[in-house]
Every structure is written in structure tokens, then in C-alpha cells.
Structure 1
Amino acid sequence: MTVLHPAPRYASNEGVSAAISAALGDMLLSTKEEHGEILLTVARDRIEDVLRLLRDEHEYQQLMEIAGVDYPSRPERFEVVYMLLSLTRNHRVIVKVTAGEKTPVPTVTTLWPNAGWLEREVFDLYGVLFSGNPDLRRILTDYGFEGHPFRKDFPLTGYVELRYSEEDKRVVYEPVQLAQDLRQFDFMSPWEGADYVLPGDEKADVPPVADPKTTDGPNKTGAGAKADAKAAKPVSEGAPAEKEAAAKEPGAPKPTEDRPDELPRSEKSRDTKGATETDKDIE
């Protein structure tokens, strides 16, 4: 049975950017298409109007996510990214605004209730302020946490560490104390090696790997006097074949070297009979 659904399997971006650009007007700063999705950069103070227009007139019903991005070198270092989904058209758009450390972004909790939690995440991790949010508190870090951990300039070790004190019977916050200095790792290719001498390598002598190691004799193993003495001892008295040959069995033939020399032949090879007979046979 064929199941019909109003949403197509694949929604094309053809004409979407032009239609949205015409609808937003001066509220739109720039638009482009990347990785198969349309990205819209809009004015920060008009973000609520932009998202309301996309929801009501262009059928982007759901706010899927709000994310933050940090670019410390920019005058307004943060970007707040809104990801919208149209269920009826099976299409997505991304809307972005820029913000500074002390520049608040208007809240969109008036449009989607779930924006309250999403804005709290961006505030907690990046420090972006959202004006109009009724409950802008930390949501992932602790109440006494200092700083915002997703900023690029936030130290890897943090500013303070917490532990439970048996003396005070509570959680206490203390300055970070590392057992050893934080190592600065080099992420160069391990098989190509670094183009400088690593600390400590200047003390090591490079062994002559290419020169073959030889010894004066087979009993000189190079492993010390004990190993040389053990190598000098014979492994066995003789090979198994030599032991068997030394044992004489009754009726065994004499060794070839113990037999007497053969008598000279009477004729040469051209005379077959004389060549096979000795002088003793003729007598």
C-alpha cells in the first residue's frame, strides 16, 4: 500500500534563499549556501522579528537548537546560531547573529518555550547575555563556577577546583594546584618527527646502528663473562650418527679404509674377460 505524505523525501534549496531574502529585506545582512543548507546572517536587534516571520509565513515551525561559536579575534567575538526546521516542507535553515561580551541578544522565548533552556546553555558555556530571558542562570556548570568553559581563552585547568572537606563537612573551592606543570604537547606528525631537538634528547648519544657488531670468536657473546664461559662449553660429546658408528655390532663389515688393496688386473678395459680377472684368478 502506498503511503502518501505531504513532506517530500528531499527538499531542494532552489528559490528558498531568494524568497526569504525578499521577505526579510533590510533585516538580512548576508546569505549563502554551505554544505547543502542555507545560512542567513541577520541584524542582532531584529532576531525576534526574523524568526517570527520564518515561523509564521515560511512554515519553519520548530526551533531545533541554539548554539554558540567563539571567534576571539573579531570585534564581536560570538555568534549565536539558530537552527530551524520546517515539518511541512522538510527543509532546514540556519540563522546567525553576532554579539560581544557585553552586547545582549534579544530572547526568543516569546516564540518557542524551549528557547529558555537553549539560551541558558549558550550563556553558561560562552557568556552571551540574552535580554528578556526570564530565568538566565547556569544550567550545566555549578553555581560557584567561574568563567565560561567554551571560550577559546578559557584555561584547560580552569580557575578553581572543588573538593569535599572532611573538616568543614562541605564542598570547598580552592585555587587549582597541579602536581606537575601542564605539558604543552606538540601535535606534529609522529613519523616525520619534530624539526627541533626535544628536551632531553640532547643527552642521548645516537648508537651506530648501521655498523655491524662483531666479536673475536664464537664464544665471545658480548653479554658478559658468564655467558662467554657457558658458550665455550661443548653442547654434546658428539653427533648421534657418530655415537652409533662407534658401537660395533657382530657381523658388521669392516670399514673401507681397513680393507687390503685390490690386486692389479691382468688386462685393460678393451679385453672384457681379462679386465675382470686378477692375476690370482688366472693361477
Structure 2
Amino acid sequence: MQFLKDHHNSQMECLMEVCAIDVPSRPYRFEVIYNLLSLRYNSRLQVKTYTDELTPLDSVTGVYKSATWSEREVWDLHGVFFSNHPDLRRIMTDYGFEGHPLRKDFPMSGYYESRYDDIKKRVVLEPVEFAQEFRQFDLNSPWEEFNKFKIKNVPVKEEKPQK
């Protein structure tokens, strides 16, 4: 990253954003993307790197100061750890929050429900209660069922013209 920022042919002096994508089917499930901008050459560049839950990435805050908040956000929401980061703590969720909400293995309903209690006059956290169990849906199209009743092509006998 230092090379891309300092070299006279690239001069990528602006880090626009750092984002992450979670693809659990990959061996390195997290794809971290750095979007860079060169004002001198009016060009953009994406630098992609891959990691898993246990392997930390080196922080680029020493090269780009704007990466401080973006890397904190990626760590908070995806759980990608950045080594040598000056202030790696939660930024989008509460400090006592468990898990990382943008991971594909994070439950859709979460673990806790927060609400304001009029009797206690404060916000309380309670475990989520489900009114019904999750159902398994069959997402086949109803039109796919017609293939079972398809008429098989029967060869037609050709008639010979009469003389």
C-alpha cells in the first residue's frame, strides 16, 4: 500500500473506503477490499485480499489515516482482525455486543432484544423469544411441477402419398 501511495506512476493518495464480504464456502471466507483514488491521474484502484476468522491482516493506518474508522467498522461488523491498529474497538454496535452481525453465520433475529422498560425507567436487554419455530420452506417454483406430467414425444408414422 505504501508503494501505491508513494510511487510517481500511481500516487493513490486517497483511501476512499475499506469494506468486507463474507463468503463462508471459501477457505478464506472474508474478502477485504480497499478502494483507492489518485487525484493526479484521475483513476481508481481496488486492492482485494482474503483472510479467515483466525488470520489477522496488517493495518494500513500507518499509510492512510482514513483507514482507522473503516477498519474498526470491518472488525466490528465482520470480525476481521487488523494487527497493529491503534484503536481497534467496536464502533457500530454496543461494547457488550456478542458476535459480528454481518457474518453469514450470525442469526437473522440476533440473540438479545433491547427495549425501554417503563417500570425500570431504562433500556433492558432480554433474550429473544420466538412465537413459533423456524420453518423450512420449499422454494421450488410451482411451474417446475408440470415437468412431471409432460407428454412424451411419440414418433409419428409418416404416411406415404397415394398414387
Query: Shorter-chain-normalised TM-score: which range?
Result: 0.7 to 0.9
Instruction: Give unmatched runs, 5+ long, in structure 1.
Output: 1-50, 197-283
Asked if 1:104 is matched to 2:40, the reply is no
Secondary structure of the corresponding residue to residue 82 of structure 1: strand
Asked if 1:59 is matched to 2:59, the reply is no
- Out of 59, 72, 80, the position equivalent to 2:24 is 72
Identify the residue that residue 100 of structure 2 maps to in structure 1.
Answer: 148
Distance 1:154 1:66 in 2: 21
Asked if 1:113 is matched to 2:35, the reply is no
The 3 A distance-change label for structure 1 pair 146 and 194 is farther
Residues 68 and 79, structure 1, Cα contact 8 Å, conserved in 2: yes
Identify the residue that residue 164 of structure 1 maps to in structure 2.
Answer: 116
Distance 2:135 2:90 in 1: 31
Asked if 1:89 is matched to 2:41, the reply is yes
Instruction: Give unmatched runs, 5+ long, in structure 2.
Output: 147-163
Residues 146 and 160, structure 1, Cα contact 8 Å, conserved in 2: no
Identify the residue that residue 82 of structure 2 maps to in structure 1.
Answer: 130
Residues 64 and 85, structure 1, Cα contact 8 Å, conserved in 2: yes
- Partner amino acid for 1:78? F
1:147 Cα deviation from its structure 2 partner: 1.1
1:157-214: CA deviation from partner (whole Å, max 9, x where unpaired): 111111223343332222111233345555555xx55649xxxxxxxxxxxxxxxxxx
The 3 A distance-change label for structure 1 pair 157 and 116 is same
TM-score (norm 2): 0.78
Distance 1:182 1:163 in 2: 23
- How many residues of Structure 1 are paired with residues of Structure 2 in the alignment? 144
Distance 1:160 1:194 in 2: 40
TM-score (norm 1): 0.47
Provide the aligned C-alpha RMSD in A. 2.1
Distance 2:12 2:90 in 1: 29
- Out of 125, 148, 151, the position equivalent to 1:173 is 125
Secondary structure of the corresponding residue to residue 121 of structure 1: helix
1:145 Cα deviation from its structure 2 partner: 2.0
1:202-232: CA deviation from partner (whole Å, max 9, x where unpaired): xxxxxxxxxxxxxxxxxxxxxxxxxxxxxxx
Percentage identity across paired residues of the two chains:
55
The 3 A distance-change label for structure 1 pair 194 and 159 is farther
Distance 2:74 2:138 in 1: 31
* Structure 1 or 2: more helix by fraction: 1
